[in-house]
Amino acid sequence: MYPKTELSNRLRVISAPMPQMESVALGVWIAAGGRYESARLCGVSHFLEHLMFKGTLSRTARQIKEAIEGLGGAMNAFTDVEATCLYAKVPAKHAAVTLDVLLDMAFHARLSAGDIERERQVILEEIKMYLDAPMQYVQDLLGTVMWPRHPLGMFLAGTQQSVGRIRRLDIAAYCRRFYTPANVVVAAAGPVSHRLLVEQVAARVGRLAPGRPQRFRRAAGRQGRPRWDCTVKETEQTHAALGFHAFPRNHPHIHGLNLLHVILGGNMSSRLFHQVREVRGLAYEIGSQIRRYRDTGAFTVSAGVEHGKFIRALRVILDELRRVQRRPVGADEFDRAREFYTGQLLLMLEDTIDHMLWIGESELVLGRVSPLGQILDDVRRVTPADVTRVAREVLRPAHRNLAVIGPLKPAQQRQAQRLLETA
């Protein structure tokens, strides 16, 4: 379904033909992210991503932006735990120019000392912004609780201390090590010719030395007792994130976990949304999330609540997690969850950007893209009993991890810890 070619220098090119579309989405994926970093260089992947936009050996920063935006397109980038991606969406007739710009950014970044110092200040302001956004920041804190002293528990943007000590030599060495063809996937979705795409990539970077794929430190996914951390801070709400170690991306029960997510907190008809928000009015923001990595994963629940109602909300959340383990999911609720999950997947693949992101990440992280028909068949084979088994395996009380930000008094902290350990 998805044509794929590996060049002689091990760079992979994959495409999703969508001949009916007017736009093309292009992405350059690099296997470089937070989990590849040391504590000393925490944030270097994100730092380097910023610098990709500051100019190359042949283009200034302004020329990079004008080259895409002047064609009616938009470009961006992100750094994640296991990948960095530079991407753009443009009218299809401008795909070749856009790809040339993205490859130039990825393989020929200028990395000037002046740019590095200016961007350091920008990133320090970005970190401060996250510190002032507890809904986001509590997710980072949860990572430190779930994976202490491990790269998965470090902040993607780094800390003010780590970003302050990263030097040009560190960034250049990291770039040479990770931004190599063997570590890169070029993905495209839209009305593209795979043959022409491969020819252009080969002409631009086909002669570069392959380099070597980089390894990461595997995560320990088990724990013997609940863990938690509370950051006492004056905020308008108390923000909490509850997490459990879960399955890696390619685990045979991953679709059971996906359906559990939909049932518990994946949409407005989910149990947590209904019980916490609709029935009790305890929160505006309440839902569940899944973190998927190569060797591990996490199932999380997050909410923002009034300070005085935090303990009550936490009790309701834990009650719902117990209930899904003890009582079978009804047929109607299960069918709605399955239809929602498969429907959202189909809707996602209608968009060129989302389609490119899906095939690019899958190829980079797993080395393959599962055919849509196979995924739908796998989801159809999941039963309500499978969801119950997944809930019992993942949502064990001893595996609870909780991060909280807010002005919790000592008595509230003790109550929260008791609930976490005994409820």
- Mean pLDDT for the stretch of residues 49-75: 97
| 378 has pLDDT over 80 | yes
pLDDT score recorded for residue 387: 98
Joined together, the tokens standing for residue 172 give 């250049």
| 176 has pLDDT over 80 | yes
Options 3.30.830.10, 3.30.479.30, 3.40.1010.10, 3.30.750.24; CATH for 4-205 is 3.30.830.10
Pairwise CA distance, residues 295 & 258, whole Å:
17
Residue 111: pLDDT band (50, 70, 90) is very high
Joined together, the tokens standing for residue 99 give 């790809």
Domain with CATH 3.30.830.10 in the chain: 4-205, 227-422
Q: Among residues 96, 94, 113, 97, which one has the least CA distance to residue 54? A: 113
Question: 25: which strand partners?
Answer: 89, 189
| % pLDDT > 90, the chain | 97
Question: 303: which strand partners?
Answer: 240, 286
Joined together, the tokens standing for residue 128 give 């401060």
Pairwise CA distance, residues 138 & 136, whole Å:
6
pLDDT score recorded for residue 422: 87
pLDDT score recorded for residue 316: 98
Residue 41: pLDDT band (50, 70, 90) is very high
Beta strands in 206-323 (DSSP E): 227-232, 238-246, 283-292, 297-305
Pairwise CA distance, residues 209 & 180, whole Å:
7
Residue 221: pLDDT band (50, 70, 90) is low
Q: Are strands 74-79 and 23-30 parallel, antiparallel or unpaired?
A: unpaired
Stated pTM of the model: 0.95
- Render pLDDT for 283-312 as a digit per residue (tens, 0 to 9): 999 999 999 999 999 999 999 999 999 999
- Mean pLDDT for the stretch of residues 80-99: 98
| 423 has pLDDT over 80 | no
Classify residue 333 as exposed, middle or buried by CB count within 10 Å of its CB (0-12, 13-18, 19+): middle
Q: Class of the 227-422 domain?
A: alpha beta
Q: Among residues 201, 212, 206, which one has the least CA distance to residue 27? A: 201
Terminal CA-CA length for the chain: 48
Question: 16: which strand partners?
Answer: 189
- Render pLDDT for 249-281 as a digit per residue (tens, 0 to 9): 999 999 999 999 999 999 999 999 999 999 999
pLDDT score recorded for residue 220: 79
pLDDT score recorded for residue 237: 96
Classify residue 201 as exposed, middle or buried by CB count within 10 Å of its CB (0-12, 13-18, 19+): buried
Residue 192: pLDDT band (50, 70, 90) is very high
421 is catalytic: no
Question: How far are the Cα atoms of 32, 136, 213 from residue 185, in angstroms, in the given order?
Answer: 12, 29, 12
- Mean pLDDT for the stretch of residues 191-196: 98
| φ, ψ dihedrals at 205, nearest 5° | -135, 10
List, in order, residues 6 or more apart from 92 with CB less than 8 Å away. Answer: 21, 22, 23, 24, 190, 191, 192
Pairwise CA distance, residues 346 & 352, whole Å:
12
Joined together, the tokens standing for residue 110 give 């200028």
Joined together, the tokens standing for residue 361 give 């990440």
The length of the chain, given as a count of residues:
423
Instruction: Give the strand order in the sheet containing 4-6.
Output: 4-6, 12-17, 184-190, 23-30, 84-91, 74-79
Pairwise CA distance, residues 32 & 326, whole Å:
41
pLDDT score recorded for residue 222: 73
Is 91 in a helix, a strand, or coil?
strand
Pairwise CA distance, residues 207 & 188, whole Å:
21
List, in order, residues 6 or more apart from 186 with CB less than 8 Å away. Answer: 11, 12, 13, 14, 26, 27, 28, 29, 99, 103, 197, 201
Pairwise CA distance, residues 317 & 325, whole Å:
13
Marked catalytic residue, from 37, 49, 82, 119: 49
- Mean pLDDT for the stretch of residues 218-222: 79
Averaged pLDDT of the chain: 97
